[in-house]
Amino acid sequence: MMATPYCLDSNIFLYAFSKTPRDAAKARTAREWIAREDWGISVQVLQEFYVNAIRTPHDLKHDEALAMIEEIASSRPVISIDVPLIRLALQIKNRYGVAYWDAAILAGARRLGANVLVSEDLSHGQDYGGVRVLNPFQTA
């Protein structure tokens, strides 16, 4: 697998189909990121997307969320969760004091070879051992 410069977090996908008027700018920005060819994700991101997409306020149907996951998984690099990834996530958690789930996404980004995690959930501009966080909604 070739390294990819960007790793997308689940919030990018959730905003992409938000119908909430206050999220209109974020939805446009998210769709622009998804339309790009230079990103990958981890299995964890797909899981988080599914769990949140079928809940209120998103309320996607199971089949709709599954179709989106299948489309992403067939067209982008996807990093699996395994014991070495968990170990790396625990090292990141310990070193940077972030939640385990955020550390696991950072570990997935590192394994992708991505030097940027596109997310609103961590500190914009912060470097976590070679993976910098970019919040694409800073101005949205």
We report the CATH number of the domain holding residue 21 as 3.40.50.1010
For 12-70, how does the pLDDT look when each residue is reduced to its tens digit (9 = 90+)?
999 998 888 999 999 999 999 999 999 999 999 999 999 999 998 889 999 999 999 99
The per-residue DSSP string of 69-97 comes to HHHHHHHS-EEPP-HHHHHHHHHHHHHH-
Closest CA to 71 of 104, 56, 101, 49: 49
For 87-129, how does the pLDDT look when each residue is reduced to its tens digit (9 = 90+)?
999 999 999 999 999 999 999 999 999 999 999 999 999 999 9
Q: Is residue 1 part of a domain?
A: no
CB atoms within 10 A of CB 15: 25
* 79 strand-pairing partners: 42
Q: What is the total count of domains within the chain?
A: 1
Global pTM value = 0.94
Q: Is residue 11 part of a domain?
A: yes
Q: How far apart are CA 129 and CA 31, in angstroms?
A: 28
pLDDT computed for residue 131 by the predictor: 97
Q: Is residue 140 part of a domain?
A: no
Q: Is residue 61 part of a domain?
A: yes
pLDDT computed for residue 1 by the predictor: 63
Domain around 88: 6-134
pLDDT computed for residue 19 by the predictor: 84
